[in-house]
Amino acid sequence: MSTQSTPHANTTAIGSSPIRAGAPLVVAAGLSRVIASRAQRIVILDDISFVVPAQSLFAINGPSGSGKSTLLNILTGIDQPTGGSVTFGGQTLRKMSEDQLARWRGKNIGVVFQFFQLLPTLTAEENVLLALALTHALPRRQWRARAGECLALVGMGEYAKRLPGELSGGQQQRVAIARALANDPPVLVADEPTGNLDSKTATQVFDLLAGLTTRGKTVIYVTHDPHLAERATQRLDLLDGRIAGMSAGARPAGAADGATPTLAANPHTFART
């Protein structure tokens, strides 16, 4: 199997541009999102500016209705801002067509949903295979091996043939993370990834996500849980569509009470073909 090496562990690559750990990966400048009609004008985001460093664990924190999910959608090009811009790895998203954005997301962004979004009639392995089939990031002959690597990475290798209905909520979210990793994207985004889990399972799943930064990934997550927000290496607090605060380095990425998170045994970073 012919492979091409991934970037060095201290760099992230978006397109052809290597970005060193800690350097700006995402630059949001003056973002606004307004919904206007004859009857009313609703301001969802109001002049939001910040930077997401490469390989950081970046939290977007705030109560319901603060604009967190809208901001996440704008950062990934799913939604367009009314004003301002997002530069992602040196690329300005507003300059891309919808088709270009879709291809860009398929290569660069892995998405983890609150409610897992696994197809119930497909096994864990098949759900991961589907992500590979949709983007064709790898030759077909490598899909099954990659799916196995992803499931092993999140500790779900032995459950590859199970249907989602045969798995616990935490196990389903692990499969969802494996699916998000299938194409080896440099960035994972997660919208309330632990919101549908009990506290113990939520901690385990979050430790798994946080540990991915040690493998060169940037993880951007939305949360309303102050404890999870405190785990971030970089944090943005939103309130009523405005920045209420920013902080950095609250705790080491993935470290709860000084512990170092671990992933399932799989020592290598995926290689692109």
End-to-end CA distance of the chain: 9
Which pLDDT band, with edges at 50, 70 and 90, does 250 fall under?
very low
The 3-state DSSP class for residue 61 equals strand
Choice between 93 and 3, residue whose per-residue pLDDT is larger:
93
Task: Examine the pLDDT at 118 and tell me if it is beyond 60.
Answer: yes
Percent of the chain with pLDDT over 70: 84
State how far the Cα of 262 lies from the Cα of 43, in Å rounded to an integer.
41
Sign of CA dihedral 149, 215, 107, 172: positive
Q: Looking at the predicted structure, is the pLDDT value of residue 256 above 90?
A: no
Assign residue 215 the CATH number of its domain: 3.40.50.300
Q: What order of strands is seen across the sheet that includes strand 109-112?
A: 109-112, 187-191, 218-223, 57-61, 234-239, 242-248
What pLDDT was estimated at residue 152?
94
Would you state the structure tokens that stand for residue 43, as one six-digit string?
Answer: 């301001």
pTM confidence score: 0.82
81-92 confidence digits (pLDDT tens)? 999 999 988 889
In a domain, 35, yes or no: no
Q: How confident is the model at residue 12 (pLDDT cuts 50, 70, 90)?
A: low
In this prediction, residue 195 has a pLDDT band, given cuts at 50, 70 and 90, of confident
Residue 264 lies in a domain: no
**Percent helix / strand / coil, the chain, rounded to 5:** 35, 30, 40
Q: What is the pLDDT of residue 197?
A: 87
What digits encode the pLDDT tens for the residues 31-60? 999 998 888 899 999 999 999 999 999 999
Domain membership of residue 86 (yes or no) is: no
1 confidence band (pLDDT: 50, 70, 90): very low
121 assigned to some structural domain = yes
pLDDT score recorded for residue 15: 54
Please check whether residue 117 lies inside any domain of the structure: yes
- Say if 218 falls within a structural domain: yes
Q: Is residue 72 part of a domain?
A: yes
Per-residue burial over 150-187, b if 16 or more Cβ lie within 10 Å, else e, is bbbbbbbbebbebbbeebebbbbbbbbbbbbbbbbbbb
Instruction: Give me the chain's average pLDDT, please.
Output: 84
Report yes or no on 64 lying in a domain.
Answer: yes
Q: What is the pLDDT of residue 70?
A: 94
d(CA 113, CA 197): 12
Question: Mind listing the pLDDT tens digit for each residue in 125-166?
Answer: 999 999 999 888 788 999 999 999 999 999 999 999 999 999
- H or E element: which one contains 72? helix 68-75
Residue 62 has pLDDT above 50, yes or no: yes
What's the distance, CA 70 to chain centroid? Answer: 15
Nearest of 7, 55, 6 to residue 188 by alpha carbon? 55
How many other β-carbons are positioned within 10 Å of the β-carbon of residue 65? 13
Residue 199 has pLDDT above 80, yes or no: yes
Single-letter amino acid code for the residue at 176? A
How far is the C-alpha of 181 from the C-alpha of 75, rounded, in Å?
A: 18
Q: Give the amino acid at 245.
A: G
Domains in the chain, number:
1
Mean pLDDT in residue range 182-209? 90
pLDDT tier for residue 249 given thresholds of 50, 70 and 90: low
Mean pLDDT of 1-25: 59
Which residues span the domain enclosing 62? 11-22+54-78+99-248
